[in-house]
Amino acid sequence: MKHNQLTTRKIAAASKPGYYGDGAGLYMQVSKQGTKSWIYRFMLDGRVRDMGIGGLDVFSLKEARERAREFRKMVKDGIDPIEERNRTRAARRNAGLREAATRMTFADCAKAYLNQHADAWGNPKHRAQWVASLKRANEAFGALPVGDVDVDMVIKFLAPIWKATPDTGARIRGRVEKVLDWATASKFRTGENPARWRGHLEHLLKARPKARHHAALPFEEMPEFMAELRSRGSVQARALEFCILTAVRSNEAIGARWGEISQGVWIIPAERMKAGREHMVPLSTRAIEILEDRRDSADLLFPGAIPGKPINHDAMRLLLKEMNGGKLTVHGFRSSFRDWAGERTTYQHETIEFALAHHIPDQAAAAYRRYRALEKRRKLMEAWAQFCSAPVESGKVVALHG
């Protein structure tokens, strides 16, 4: 076997693309672009393999021969130098990841998680809630390596919040769990998630009390209530009546603007909707009458005392408190509408859910059906307005039992 066939002069003179042998498996390769690099060719287990060593700008002829000599020893011992190099690189890379994991704090992971999921939260309010929750967690253990966050830390952080406001504590726990899951998937921590609920924290934290439903007026009493409401001439009364007739949430009604009304349809932009999707509300005759009476307002349908601002968020709640002592909630009228629609009409459940802007499975098909159901919903909302405006009976009817 010939060795050391190449010289510095031969290397400099070589320009034709191809392989130039030095002997014992070492070659200089000239590419079509004229670049020169070192190749070690060997046979192992009946296979011929080429292993790149590096360019001439990195390794001299002497250094390339030394490298080839080390590779020949490995082949002699039955070791594939290519696979061995890959294993070494993988080990080095894993060591780097482990080192990075020790430097990655919970706060770092929370920030990365928020950035990665920003597009998924179309509603700015939803993102702000996530930021606020994770800020509280960061104050507790954000500076610690994410791999060091354990059950004791999570319990110590959550316990006082859980005791004061269980619903808030539950939301924060869920968000911390997702960040820690992300950290595990990203190989910044290992082991069980200390914020996991099922089969874990559910045994360590007191069970949340059952959710209380928003106090709602029985739909049979709506005509009498609406008659009293119409007798009041305040902007709060008109806003509440409009809110009830359109079956929307209070913040959606308060922020209504003239630019959102077109041809008897109120189009609420996605950023004001809880679900983050545009919502179309066909307006009943009575709802349009309310708008006609509000024509003196500039931009907002229900402006407040401060120029350019709508009425206060609590305005309708305070009006309800004045009318019935605070036994009802504005949101509860959505339940009154749903109960009436389900018991007194023959409209499909899906049409009623669209009217309430509720989530419908299979969003692609639902978006198409939502627009097709607009005329059905127009009739539904007109029927609701007529029911609410029905004459109030002067006497009570006593049910007789046989």
Q: At what angle do helices 222-230 and 315-324 cross, to 10 degrees?
A: 110
What's the pLDDT band for 247 if we cut at 50, 70, 90? very high
Q: Is residue 179 part of a domain?
A: yes
pLDDT score of 228:
93
- Could you tell me which residues come within 8 angstroms of residue 195 by beta carbon, excluding any fewer than 6 positions away? 154, 173, 176, 177, 180, 201
- For residues 90 and 83, the answer to whether their CB atoms sit within 8 Å is no
d(CA 72, CA 352): 78
- Run of H or E residues at 86: helix 81-103
Give ∠ CA 133-139-141 in degrees, rounded to 5.
100
**Residue 353's domain is classified under what CATH number?**
1.10.443.10
d(CA 395, CA 364): 50
> Residues 245, 351: one domain?
yes
d(CA 101, CA 97): 6
Domains: count for the chain: 3
pLDDT tens digit sequence for 300-326: 888 888 888 889 888 898 998 888 877
> Residues 121, 28: one domain?
no
> Residues 319, 179: one domain?
no
Tokens of 249: 């949430």
Q: Is residue 393 part of a domain?
A: no
Tokens of 25: 């498996």
pLDDT score of 2:
74
- Could you tell me which residues come within 8 angstroms of residue 63 by beta carbon, excluding any fewer than 6 positions away? none
- For residues 209 and 170, the answer to whether their CB atoms sit within 8 Å is no
d(CA 40, CA 80): 12
> Residues 162, 59: one domain?
no
Domain boundary among 151, 174, 203: 203
Long-range contacts of residues 390-394, Cβ cutoff 8 Å, at least 24 apart: 390/223, 391/223, 392/223, 392/224, 392/227
Tokens of 128: 């702000």
**Residue 36's domain is classified under what CATH number?**
3.30.160.390
d(CA 70, CA 266): 78
> Residues 242, 304: one domain?
yes
Q: What percentage of residues in the chain have a pLDDT greater than 90?
A: 51
Q: Is residue 398 part of a domain?
A: no
Residue 133 has pLDDT above 50, yes or no: yes
Mean pLDDT of 163-192: 90
DSSP output for 293-338: HTTT-SSBSSB-SSTT-BS-TTHHHHHHHHHHTT---TTHHHHHHH
pLDDT tens digit sequence for 331-371: 999 999 999 998 999 988 888 888 888 866 555 445 545 55
**Residue 152's domain is classified under what CATH number?**
1.10.150.130
- pTM recorded for the entire structure: 0.52
- Run of H or E residues at 246: helix 235-246
> Residues 33, 168: one domain?
no
Alpha-carbon Rg for the chain in angstroms: 36
Structural domain including 14 reads 8-100
Q: Where are the beta strands (DSSP E) in 79-152?
A: none
Residue 395 has pLDDT above 50, yes or no: no
CA distances from residue 213 to 2, 162, 216, 329, 353 in whole angstroms, order as listed: 90, 20, 8, 10, 18
Residue 219 has pLDDT above 50, yes or no: yes
d(CA 247, CA 14): 83
Three-class DSSP category at 375: helix
d(CA 215, CA 331): 8
Q: Is residue 394 part of a domain?
A: no
Would you tell me how many other CB atoms lie within 10 Å of the CB of residue 298?
9
| CA 274 and chain centroid, separation | 13
Tokens of 277: 């999707």
pLDDT score of 199:
81
Higher per-residue confidence, 297 vs 128: 128
